[in-house]
Amino acid sequence: MSPTTDANSNKVSVVLGTQWGDEGKGKLVDILAQSIDVCVRCQGGNNAGHTIVVDGVKYAFHMLPSGLVNMACVSVVGSGVVVHLPSFFEELEDLQKQGLDCDGRLFISDRCHLVFDFHQIVDGMKEGELGRGSIGTTKKGIGPAYSSKASRSGIRVHHLYHFDEFEKRFRTIVAARHRRYGDFEYDVEAELSRYRQLAERLRPFVIDSVEFLHAKLREGKRILVEGANALMLDIDFGTYPYVTSSNTGVGGVCTGLGIPPSKIGEVIGVAKAYTTRVGGGPFPSELTDEVGQKLRDVGAEYGVTTGRPRRCGWLDLVVLRYSTMINGYTSLNLTKLDVLDVFDEIKVAVSYTINGKEVTSFPADLDDLATATVNYVTLPGWKQNISKCRTFEELPENCQKYVRFIEKDLGVPVQWIGVGAGREDMINID
């Protein structure tokens, strides 16, 4: 990610999740952020979660861009993100307590929609209504906030600075939720008082992010967009309805930031060397046996935001092919390859058989998917500790073959390989 000399040709670089999230995007963003000027979130909310380890210190990010770890990098919460202000400040305070000085380096779009506590209450109620068919949300209010946005009843950051209008909108939307869900406990007057104070506290952070980002592009600044969640949780292209409520693919960069497609350059897809998923929904290569538990234990597969154990399974190239078609990755970051060190053999899903027919792309119909038989290729393991490897050539031969097998199938080069939790535990293939 070198500086661009011609401002007219300057493009943003993008990091996106290729699977169901938790691929380790934050670590790559942290590494790339060492050489960029602006790091931006474009969608989602504080239902996302990244853990970054720097010099033995663990930083947990949920809503804020991971680029804050680099003291020379400015971070922006873009227009497509939905923001719960108490959580925004709580996360900021936690980072500052760990020594990150964020003053003058963090901004939020005036077009961001707000997540309120009543959204979180409603989120839990909606899950309860679904019963056994629940989506498995984080109950952070993200879905209900996006629903408010889509129904044109949402409240945006700029409304805070015309408080009479804010109050009118707030009372109207709460009344509508009471009509829908009954008279749940919610202190409207206390909440209005709290948001009057939060508005003033937020004021120094608020910018017109569209103008800001386009100005940075014209100045030739290096901009990195940090996607949240992942393609298979996309509201349109994921395993609907077991998805999040935003566009998590490359399209969400354009709609969430106001950046045209012509300004998108590198699109780096982050893929775990196996597959995990949190919450409900289909997962064709899931392992519910001791092998799946071994992946969970060795990989420490528990959610940053929720602490929930992640479902684990073998790498699924059907998912990755589909993800690659939609997002057009220019390169891949294969993460947590070291977790596979302990296996004698490693399976990779290469196709499904549905109704007697072999399928190589991910189907839309979840009823069809539920009947699928997964077809695997078995590759030999390497049974060596690769955590100290720093070049591709240092990896065991079978490990190299595993990486090349993935590259050949997807037609996308693997540029980065994660072999441990730390910032230094990453191989960069030039």
Catalytically annotated residues: 22, 50
Q: Which segments of 339-421 does DSSP mark as H helices, in order?
A: 366-370, 397-410
Long-range Cβ contacts of 383-388 (<8 Å, 24+ apart): 383/341, 383/342, 383/343, 383/344, 384/341, 385/338, 385/341, 386/337, 386/338, 386/341, 386/419, 387/338, 387/341, 387/419, 387/420, 387/425, 388/419
How remote is the C-alpha of 14 from its chain's centroid?
Answer: 12
Q: What is the largest CA-CA distance in the chain?
A: 67
Question: Are 13 and 225 in contact, with CB atoms under 8 Å apart?
Answer: yes
CA 293 – CA 342 distance, rounded (Å)? 13
Q: Which helix (H) or strand (E) element contains residue 99?
A: none
Q: Which helix (H) or strand (E) element contains residue 187?
A: none
CA 57 – CA 70 distance, rounded (Å)? 14
Phi-psi region of 218 (alpha: psi -120 to 50; beta: other; left: phi over 0): alpha
Local structure of 221: helix, strand or coil: coil
- Please report the DSSP string for 100-115 in residue order: ---TTTEEEETTPEEP
